[in-house]
A and B are shown apart, each in its own frame.
Chain A
Amino acid sequence: MALLVSMVLEGAGETDPLSIKDYESLGGFAALRAAFALEPQAIIREITGAKLLGRGGAAYPAGKKWEQLLNIEGSPKYIVCNADEGEPGTFKDRRIMEAVPLRLLEGMIIAGLTFNSPRGFIYVRGEYRRLQRRLAEAIQILRDAGYLGERILGSPFSFEITTISGAGAYVCGENSALLNSAEGLAGRPRIKPPHLAEVGLFLKPTLVNNVESFANIPLVLTMGGEKFLQAGHPQSGGSKLVCLSGHVRAPGVYEVPLGGATLRDIIFSPQLGDGIRDGRELGFFHLGGQSGPLGGPADLDVPYAYYPLRERGLAVGSGAVVALDASVSPVEYLQKVAEFFSRESCGKCVPCREGNKILAKYLQKLQIPGAWTPEDERRLSDLMVAMRRASFCGLGQSATTALASAQKLFPGRFAGASAPAASEA
């Protein structure tokens, strides 16, 4: 299997992102045309067979999500694309929207057709203002060509897509917070159930998928679910866009077949990261965003796919791989992570709002020689449990994931580096 593939990003950098002709020359819109002849169940069967897992971070099976929405009564149903890409170290949705926006839009139109939806929305983070304009341009081009708007391609199906801007809030990457924000409210998460499939945007049944998930839909239909699955890992089909950053020689977005590359390939292969800069050694890497786990050199040979990583306590998450050289102190790194969550907590619930602040203080204390006590150790551990279990949404629940993994990875550094040994305590 090749280390790199060109599926979601086929044509990126080589074709005009806003040219329908260029996109069609690569088979663009063949999936949409085919979808018109398929029953919704048949479309979803392909997605389920493809084992396409949600690419935003939660890895929820897309087929299952679509199936659930199909089985829900109620109309209209809305299609929402989560383009709030805010996980530090993640910049692959940006690449899709810059280089192959028509593939994303085709995926959304197919979703619209499947659920006979009148409207789709792309919620783009406020920081990507230039991309919002580009998407709006792409939408207009598709409207002019009859791929969007009234009676698409002469069929009875009509569908519109609108972009919505965020305004700077990491928590809006959480789907229910995103919908609140899309309605013009503060982006705080909603209590679930009811699930968004039942009560979503404007209280209507709603499908929310990530940019990369939508961009995979045309591929699933043109290749067929089975071939899509074969192009990836037996438990998760297709490719994954990896966002490589940190101290590698060649950072960037790379598309790897799921299960076809190891973390070692991603960080060290000359085709990808090309190893650590300045002749230094790899210290550790951070997977899937700030809410993901840390791994070390001993984890390098794990295949990059959802299940093999999960078995090892690691995760694909958003696709972020931040590789840090051995000069970076993991405690200092984790303090930066805690500061991030503390800044981005929406303030709705106490475990997250207060917990992240206290966590940052503990991490600071860990860096003061001789300051750490067994009492701190116990309290930190209680705090982590409380945050994980009592936080309202994924932000607080996953804010301690990186720290918990680091405690295992560097037992001496976190289990009270400067604390007295257990025998003295």
Chain B
Amino acid sequence: MPELSESQARAIMADFHDDPQRLIAILLDIQEASGANRVEKKSALLVSETLGVPLTRIYEILTFYSMFSLAPRGKYLVEACESAPCHFDGGETTLSHLADILGVSPGETTADGLFTLEKSACFGACGHGGAFKIGDEAYRGGSRNQIASVIRSYRENSPRLREGLAWLY
């Protein structure tokens, strides 16, 4: 499991001038840099100490906001929208394609540690039903093959493979 070094975490906090009011931004960046899409206890302790914020408040933030995770997740978070506009417009099909292609159920991580599949609330891609998101990028739902190509492009780290596949933002 990759780990965030103490100096990396300190550099992230320094980017925000160790400002407790930027706690959420700091924790988001720490999570992103963790390599496992989570905030470890040792990072939480370090943030608490450096910013002078009680550890309980750090955990309040980490458990209140849905984008945070305490448990390790894959390098890429694959999120299928389950809010009503997507759900009734192909959302279930997208989710079952994703589960099938990745070989995991929602909440699980692929054996290679690359992808974690999650059901998500609306992320503003409703103009294309059954949308899904990989990391910061949103895609429209499509055929099993199209979705598989998008996944493959991440697995092989080859953005070229997803050219022409509807990328939303």
**B60 and A340: CB pair below 8 A?**
no
**A167 and B24: CB pair below 8 A?**
yes
B152: shortest Cβ distance to chain A, in Å?
22
CB of B125 closer than 8 Å to a CB of A: yes
A167, A183, A290, A346: the one contacting B83 at CB < 8 Å is A290
Chain A hits for B87, CB < 8 A: 336
* Interface stretch (choices A45-53, A108-116, A128-136, A224-232): A128-136
Per the bound structure, the CA–CA distance linking A88 and B127 in Å amounts to: 11
Per the bound structure, the CA–CA distance linking A395 and B124 in Å amounts to: 18
With A94-B124, A167-B65 in contact, do A130 and B137 touch (Cβ < 8 Å)? yes
**B25 and A328: CB pair below 8 A?**
no
**B126 and A168: CB pair below 8 A?**
no
**B66 and A251: CB pair below 8 A?**
no
Per the bound structure, the CA–CA distance linking A217 and B20 in Å amounts to: 33
**B65 and A247: CB pair below 8 A?**
no
**B121 and A86: CB pair below 8 A?**
yes
Chain A hits for B126, CB < 8 A: 88-91, 243, 245, 251, 320, 322
Chain A hits for B20, CB < 8 A: 184
* Interface stretch (choices B95-103, B107-115, B128-136, B154-162): B128-136
**A91 and B125: CB pair below 8 A?**
yes
**B28 and A165: CB pair below 8 A?**
yes
B84: shortest Cβ distance to chain A, in Å?
4
Q: For residue B26, which residue of chain A has the nearest CB?
A: A184
**B127 and A253: CB pair below 8 A?**
yes
**A186 and B61: CB pair below 8 A?**
yes
Binary A-proximity of B15-51 (CB < 8 A = 1, otherwise 0): 0000011111101100000000000000000000000
**Listed residue (B23, B68, B169) with the most chain A CB atoms within 10 angstroms of its CB:** B169
Interface size on B, residues (CB 8 A): 37
Per the bound structure, the CA–CA distance linking A310 and B136 in Å amounts to: 37
Chain A hits for B57, CB < 8 A: 185
Chain B hits for A165, CB < 8 A: 24-25, 28
With A126-B28, A129-B136 in contact, do A88 and B65 touch (Cβ < 8 Å)? no
Per the bound structure, the CA–CA distance linking A245 and B128 in Å amounts to: 7
A127, A246, A252: the one contacting B129 at CB < 8 Å is A246
Chain A hits for B169, CB < 8 A: 94, 98, 128, 130-131
Binary B-proximity of A121-155 (CB < 8 A = 1, otherwise 0): 00001111111000000000000000000000000
Per the bound structure, the CA–CA distance linking A305 and B160 in Å amounts to: 45
Q: For residue A163, which residue of chain B has the nearest CB?
A: B25
**A127 and B124: CB pair below 8 A?**
yes
B77: shortest Cβ distance to chain A, in Å?
11
Chain B hits for A253, CB < 8 A: 127
**B67 and A87: CB pair below 8 A?**
no
CB of A164 closer than 8 Å to a CB of B: yes
Per the bound structure, the CA–CA distance linking A169 and B63 in Å amounts to: 11
**A130 and B136: CB pair below 8 A?**
yes
**B67 and A126: CB pair below 8 A?**
yes
**B124 and A91: CB pair below 8 A?**
yes
CB of A333 closer than 8 Å to a CB of B: yes
For window 59-82 of B, CB contacts with A under 8 Å fall at 60-61, 64-68, 82
CB of A17 closer than 8 Å to a CB of B: no
Per the bound structure, the CA–CA distance linking A341 and B128 in Å amounts to: 22
CB of B12 closer than 8 Å to a CB of A: no
**B124 and A340: CB pair below 8 A?**
no
- A246-B129, A253-B127 are known; give 7 further A-B pairs, CB within 8 A: A91-B126, A130-B169, A167-B24, A183-B21, A243-B126, A333-B84, A336-B87
Residue ranges of A at the interface with B (Cβ–Cβ < 8 Å):
85-91, 94, 98, 125-131, 164-170, 181, 183-188, 243-247, 251-253, 286, 290, 320, 322, 324, 328, 333, 336-337, 340, 343-344, 346
Lowest 9 CB-CB distances: which A-B pairs, in order? A168-B66, A167-B65, A168-B67, A88-B122, A88-B83, A184-B23, A245-B126, A186-B64, A127-B123
